[in-house]
Amino acid sequence: MQLPKNQKELLENLETLINQTYKIENEFIELKNILNGVIEFLPQALWVIDKNGEIIIKNSKADEFDFIPKTGEIEYKNRFFLVQSSNIKDKKIISATDITKQKRNERLIAMGQMAAHLAHEIRNPIGSISILLSILNKKCNQSEIIQEIKSALFRVERIIKSTLLFSRGIKLQKKDFNFQDLADDLKKAIKYYSFSKKIEFVFPNENITIYADYDLILLVFQNLIFNAIDAIEENEKENGIIKIDYWLKNNSHIFIITDNGKNFEDKNILFEAFKSTKTKGNGLGLALSKEIIKKHKGKIELYDKEKGFIITLPNK
């Protein structure tokens, strides 16, 4: 039976309408997927809330929160967030941007400025005390006590130098030098560093020529060796060993500094300024060392085979 012409046209139009509806629905699903992808790609946590206060859209970063934050700066799980909101028709959009790094930098700048001011104030009396100790050493026989005081002053002077470098910024003055000269100065510095246990120090014997800032590289090795001494002092072993291994690889100087001291308590904060798990120190040594090596276009990182650090410096 053949349908009347008007019914046939009606069916054809209906079929066309259904096909267009499917097409529009598929396009809508595709656009929704793209929108969800964009929302997921955003660096902020994001919520879209309807007029009844129900969440209709959110991304995975928002899942890290067990609540919907209010606008302003908030601290949550040891991180800082800037929460902002806006309204589109009857929908409310809330975003939370992680500003932890920015807040940390602001704190470091403030702490660095304060520390630099204190370092300047301390340095003058330290110089006067050093001169008075030299005079006193000539006039009395209390050399052991004077040596202990000099060791304490050496530690304070090293902290002052690190603090000023950290606050002012690092400027390199490169030159060629032999590592054996650096090792000799390290051995002299070790004599000024107070420790009670018997520690063996092993340095490389190779003829190693390095093009770098001598004073800054010396400071890096001092920091790592003194940290190792402190770790040995804090563990239960009676004797300690600190070893520096060296080889030249891919036109780079590779130094590995290891020790048998106490293990790192928190590896995540090792290179963060003003953070330390040690009983001694101000938490600047490793942070400053990393910046110095970075300025030399090298890198310093944890050594994964033993307890220690690996330093890579370009060979010119």
End-to-end CA distance of the chain: 93
State in words which class domain 172-316 has.
Answer: alpha beta
Checking if the pLDDT of 3 tops 70, the result is no
Tell me if the domain spanning 102-169 has CATH number 1.10.287. Answer: yes
User: 139-190 pLDDT, tens per residue?
Assistant: 666 666 666 666 666 666 766 666 666 666 778 889 999 999 999 999 988 9
User: 49-102 pLDDT, tens per residue?
Assistant: 998 889 988 898 999 998 999 999 998 888 899 999 998 888 899 999 999 888
State in words which class domain 42-98 has.
Answer: alpha beta
Q: What is the largest CA-CA distance in the chain?
A: 131
Which is it for strands 175-178 and 209-212: parallel, antiparallel or unpaired?
Answer: antiparallel
User: 233-248 pLDDT, tens per residue?
Assistant: 998 888 899 999 999 9
* This prediction's pTM: 0.57
Domain range annotation of the chain: 1-41, 42-98, 102-169, 172-316
User: What residue type is 297 in one-letter code?
Assistant: K
CA–CA distance, 253 with 240 (Å, rounded to integer): 26
